[in-house]
């Protein structure tokens, strides 16, 4: 596979602790919105930005950016994450058999789903990742998230606010002939900026934006099978993009991969170091396993990479993440 190579910032692969500490200190937003803040970078997404985003709707074409939630999903049990288990409580069979005992011939169906909240298309909340025992805004992790859930920054705190201008950065289509980055490919800031330049003015990233980065890994997984999609090697953002994620003042970012950042990670001994900087220090909301393919095809066809995007989490009280069915409207 031929990939356009842009020089990447060099990292000392042997010193993840030092690199993480330096990046966290450089990009930390603690107290930026006050000591009591629970919304992090979602503070960048203002009412004015949401109102302006509504003006992006032209054709009315809408795209669901969610994968399915079923037993055929990507989960393989890593970290006890499983695919959703859907069970019927009442069925048409029960109604036809007359066992529901409702009056005047009415019948019905009911069902229940059991699943991890981050098993398919989802948001990572601010209580999902800690840095040296500290959660978002410098709070002690054991005081924020307990057996009762996230008592401070639960996902319900942003249930009303994840609506605004979405921007697609189709890095895979920009860098590769087949529109699929190989596993282990680290997307750097230079890659993001060159994609923006190539796509044109509608992909300019602004304060408060909801940025979507397509790697093409989901396209490959659909064609070849899930394999190790949920837990294995993947293209993704380089650790070195932390400064851009901070400086660009975006409200949130999402990718089509299970883990957002490149896998294997860029250090000899590390686990999700970009998460460690982005969530508890920048206060950034991260989306994973978003289905960006149909939207990407449409954007490539009409050359417009901005759209109205609504992606509110389900407000499970105290949850550190949530399923979501994002809708992009052009």
**CA Rg value for the chain:** 21
pLDDT value, residue 274: 98
Q: How far is CA 257 from CA 54, 138, 290, 300, in A?
A: 28, 28, 7, 20
pLDDT value, residue 78: 82
CA dihedral (300, 305, 307, 309) positive or negative: positive
pLDDT band at 9 (very low <50, low <70, confident <90, very high): low
pLDDT value, residue 5: 41
CA distance 200 to 177: 19
Check whether 303 has a pLDDT greater than 70. Answer: yes
pLDDT value, residue 4: 46
Check whether 131 has a pLDDT greater than 60. Answer: yes
The residue-averaged pLDDT of 68-85 equals 93
CA distance 167 to 179: 18
The residue-averaged pLDDT of 80-92 equals 95
Q: Specify the higher pLDDT residue, 7 or 303.
A: 303
CA distance 221 to 235: 12
pLDDT band at 3 (very low <50, low <70, confident <90, very high): very low
pLDDT band at 11 (very low <50, low <70, confident <90, very high): confident
Residues of the chain with CATH 3.50.30.50: 16-77+116-329
Indicate the DSSP class of residue 22.
H
pLDDT value, residue 38: 98
The residue-averaged pLDDT of 87-104 equals 95
Check whether 67 has a pLDDT greater than 60. Answer: yes
What is the rounded average pLDDT for all residues in the chain?
A: 95
pLDDT value, residue 79: 83
Exposed e or buried b for every residue in 115-131, given b needs 16+ CB within 10 A?
bbbbbbbbbbbbbbbbb
pLDDT value, residue 7: 44
Percentage, residues of the chain above pLDDT 70: 97
Strand partners, 213: 169, 255
Check whether 1 has a pLDDT greater than 60. Answer: no
CA distance 215 to 221: 12
Indicate the DSSP class of residue 281.
I
CA distance 106 to 153: 43
Task: Name every residue whose Cβ is closer than 8 Å to that of residue 132 and which is 6 or more positions away in sequence.
Answer: none
Check whether 151 has a pLDDT greater than 90. Answer: yes
CB 11 within 8 A of CB 261: no
CB 46 within 8 A of CB 209: no
Task: For domain 16-77+116-329, give the fold.
Answer: Glucose Oxidase; domain 1 (3.50.30)
Terminal Cα distance for the chain, rounded: 32
pLDDT value, residue 2: 42
Q: Specify the higher pLDDT residue, 4 or 290.
A: 290
């Amino acid at each position: 596979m031929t990939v356009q190579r842009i020089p990447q910032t060099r990292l000392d692969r042997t010193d993840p602790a030092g690199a993480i500490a330096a990046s966290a200190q450089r990009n930390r937003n603690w107290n930026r919105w006050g000591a009591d803040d629970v919304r992090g970078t979602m503070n960048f997404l203002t009412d004015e930005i949401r109102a302006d985003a509504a003006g992006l709707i032209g054709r009315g074409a809408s795209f669901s950016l969610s994968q399915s939630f079923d037993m055929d999903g990507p989960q393989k049990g890593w970290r006890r994450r499983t695919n959703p288990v859907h069970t019927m409580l009442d069925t048409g069979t029960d109604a036809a058999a007359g066992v529901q005992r409702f009056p005047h011939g009415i019948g019905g169906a009911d069902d229940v789903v059991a699943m991890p909240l981050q098993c398919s298309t989802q948001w990572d909340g601010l209580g999902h990742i800690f840095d040296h025992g500290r959660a978002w805004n410098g709070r002690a992790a054991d005081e924020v998230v307990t057996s009762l859930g996230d008592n401070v920054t639960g996902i319900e705190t942003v249930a009303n606010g994840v609506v605004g201008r979405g921007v697609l950065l189709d890095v895979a289509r920009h860098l590769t002939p087949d529109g699929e980055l190989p596993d282990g490919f680290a997307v750097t800031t230079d890659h993001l900026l060159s994609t923006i330049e190539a796509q044109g003015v509608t992909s300019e990233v602004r304060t408060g934006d909801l940025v979507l980065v397509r790697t093409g890994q989901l396209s490959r997984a659909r064609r070849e099978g899930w394999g190790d999609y949920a837990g294995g090697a993947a293209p993704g953002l380089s650790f070195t993009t932390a400064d851009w994620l901070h400086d660009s003042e975006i409200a949130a970012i999402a990718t089509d991969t299970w883990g957002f950042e490149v896998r294997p990670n860029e250090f000899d001994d590390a686990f999700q170091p970009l998460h460690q900087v982005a969530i508890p220090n920048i206060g950034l909301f991260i989306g994973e396993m978003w289905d960006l393919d149909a939207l990407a095809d449409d954007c490539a066809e009409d050359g417009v990479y901005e759209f109205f995007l609504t992606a509110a989490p389900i407000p499970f009280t105290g949850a550190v993440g949530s399923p979501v069915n994002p809708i992009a409207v052009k």
